[in-house]
Chain A
Amino acid sequence: MVASNTLLWVLVLALTVMVLALARQIGVLNDRVAPAGALTPTGGPKIGETTNAVQVRDLSGTDVTIGGEGKDLTTLLMFVSPTCPVCKTLVPTAMSLAKYEGFHLLFASDGDSIDAHRSYIKDMGIDEDRYVLSEALGMEYRVSKLPFAVLIDSDGTLASLGLVNTREHLESLVEAMRTGVATIQEYVGSYVPEPAKEA
């Protein structure tokens, strides 16, 4: 009796461990197969058009102009919030990507108290002059969900923008700027197959 009972308990325990391992593996799989491009909003400024200059103030108190003509660096604008869990994981990613690509990186946010933003940038290791607070900026690019990234080319044209959740999404924005094709849908739409050769 005791032996069979113990055996059952051991088997149930082993099964539970396996179920946990499976659940974890599904999580890893989900991570791998996540949608591979940034989600671009349909409204708002068009890709390829010159962006409007927006005056904002960073946390160190300096006025900065975002967008408009006459910038010599490509600007990566990341919309984040201290209350958004995904943003936290994407801040270091955006930093490393901007460093690698040589982009001018700016973080934008609004709402919450100034103290919340200050403790947030301290936690994330963001410089004061790289963090701007502006509601107008979010309205300009129709930011509805965070984290949201906007890539402005060195000549001031809007290169790409969209909701980003992973490094792949961010890289898809860079890719969209390089190739000049905004989305995979646009690419497929413009693809004209070569006429089949007659045998």
Chain B
Amino acid sequence: MDPLVTAVIAFGFAVLFGTAAMTKLRDFERFRSALRNYALFPSSLEPLVSVMIVFVEIVLAMGWLLGFYMAPTAIASALLLGLYGAGMATNLVRARSYIDCGCGRAEQPLSWALVVRNALYMTAALAVLIPANERTLGWFDMGLATFALLILVLMERTAMALLANMSQTAAWRT
């Protein structure tokens, strides 16, 4: 695979996990109550788990940014995203779709679209395990990577905005 794709994926995940950890830290209480509402483990473990999740997200963001241990970072990221997806799927099966997904700045109910989103992220994370061909990246590649990254971030925001719109109109059909 072209190293440019790997670079875009790596920086993309650095931004994703970085902003995820920042959002959680900025309103830690909200994150904790969102986590409690998932009802996946005894509430006595919740303080520990909440701190651990933020810690792991920061470590992963650094890992993607520095790129020294790409393979372990990719596998750990896919595992974490898989865990989130499984947590959401569990609550969707339990018909607890009304809880806050805790996956953005605004509150948003759970949906299968979010599970699919996580599956796509997992695929992207694991894609860096495909061996890259030898090619040194020039300044032009860096420019391309910047544009691609910006567009990816904007597209992610658009997808989330559309999802929020969907759940908003879904509430009308009671």
Contacts and interface: CB of A to CB of B under 8 A. Distances in A.
A124 to B, nearest CB: 11
A9 B99 CA distance: 39
Interface residues of A, number: 35
Contact of B155 (A9, A16, A83, A145): A16
Contacts of A27: 161, 164-165, 168
B93 interface: no
Q: Chain B binding site: helix, strand, loop or mixed by DSSP? A: helix
A82 B30 CA distance: 11
B33 interface: yes
A119 interface: yes
B174 A145 contact: yes
Contacts of A31: 168
Contact of A19 (B100, B109, B158, B172): B158
A39 interface: yes
Interface in A80-114: 82-86, 88, 113
A20 B154 contact: yes
B37 interface: yes
Contacts of B165: 23, 26-27, 30
Interface in B123-160: 140, 143-144, 147, 150-151, 154-155, 157-158
A17 B154 CA distance: 7
Contacts of B37: 82-83
Interface of B: 29, 33, 36-37, 43, 96, 98-100, 107-109, 140, 143-144, 147, 150-151, 154-155, 157-158, 161-162, 164-165, 168-169, 171-172, 174
Closest 5 A-B residue pairs measured CB to CB? A85-B107, A23-B161, A9-B147, A16-B154, A20-B158
26 contacts: A2-B140, A9-B143, A9-B144, A9-B147, A10-B147, A12-B147, A12-B151, A13-B147, A19-B158, A23-B158, A23-B162, A26-B161, A26-B162, A27-B164, A31-B168, A39-B174, A82-B37, A83-B37, A84-B98, A85-B99, A85-B100, A85-B107, A85-B108, A86-B171, A88-B107, A123-B29
